[in-house]
Every structure is written in C-alpha cells, then in structure tokens.
C-alpha cells in the first residue's frame, strides 16, 4: 500500500469532498477521465439525476467529488492553465479594421449607389 494513502479500516467510510461544479455531464465526464488518468478517484454527483429529469435536468448541479486524501491533487489537476500575454506585434491592428469598414461602405455606395438612388426615386414617385 502506498505511503500517501491513509490506512482504512473495514466498514470505515472515507469522506468525499466537492472540488468542482460542472456545467454539463459531458464536462464532468471529461474531467473525471483526467483525474482517473492521474490516479485520483472521482465520483460525479448529480449525473444520473440530471438525465432522469429530462427538461428539468439542467437545474441539477453536477459536481466532482474526490476522497479527502486526494483533494489537493485534484485541485492542482483541475486548476486552469495560465494564459500567456501576447506580444504587441501579435495583436490585431485596430486601424486595419477601421480601414476595412470604410472600404466596405465605399464599395456599397459605389456599387449599390445608382440602384439605391433609382429605388428611392421610384418609391418616391409611387408615393406622390
């Protein structure tokens, strides 16, 4: 028996600690697979209740529960990865988006201008 696992007497229950609430059963199953792959036992609470309730299922909270002895390892594995800060050269140029919008409006006016003017004049002629 590994030294990190506490000894358990027969009939003794090990308490389960909630470590994460999930948005769906699929998300919980994916995270359970991650924990199982690293040797952390995991139970999904609310998974079956959610499927049994049909339309009301999304109101049931789905939680990942782990034994108290594995709580720290589970929290470490489920911690979100840090996101890198992008370099200024990698960021999109806001001036480029502005120039593209202006070009699009110019194209609409040039290409659609005569037909829009003709349509407006025809509409005005009908109304008079």
Q: At CA 37, angle to CA 32 and CA 38, rounded to 5? A: 100
Same domain, 72 and 104: no
Q: What is the pLDDT of residues 33-54, one digit of tens each?
A: 999 999 999 999 988 887 788 8
Same domain, 61 and 106: no
Same domain, 74 and 98: no
The pLDDT of 97-112, averaged and rounded, is 80
Question: What is the DSSP-derived secondary structure letter of residue 16?
Answer: E
Domains identified in the chain, total number: 2
Determine if the pTM surpasses 0.75.
Answer: no
Any domain includes 47: yes
What does the pLDDT read at residue 123? 80
Instruction: Return the bridge partners of 43, or none.
Output: 65
Any domain includes 85: no
- What are the backbone angles phi and psi of residue 93, rounded to the nearest 5°? -80, 115
Any domain includes 104: yes
Same domain, 20 and 71: yes
Any domain includes 87: no
User: Residue 26 sits in which domain range?
Assistant: 16-78
Same domain, 26 and 62: yes
Q: Residue 104 pLDDT > 90, yes or no? A: no
Same domain, 23 and 47: yes
């Amino acid at each position: 028996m590994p030294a990190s696992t506490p000894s358990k007497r027969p009939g003794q229950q090990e308490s389960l600690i909630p470590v994460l609430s999930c948005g769906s059963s699929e998300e919980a199953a994916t995270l359970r697979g991650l924990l199982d792959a690293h040797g952390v036992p995991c139970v999904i609470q609310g998974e079956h209740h959610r499927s049994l309730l049909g339309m009301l299922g999304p109101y049931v909270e789905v939680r990942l529960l782990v034994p108290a002895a594995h709580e720290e390892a589970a929290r470490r594995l489920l911690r979100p990865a840090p996101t890198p800060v992008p370099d200024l050269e990698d960021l999109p140029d806001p001036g480029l988006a502005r120039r593209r919008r202006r070009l699009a409006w110019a194209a609409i006016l040039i290409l659609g201008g005569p037909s829009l003017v003709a349509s407006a004049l025809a509409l005005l002629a009908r109304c008079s």
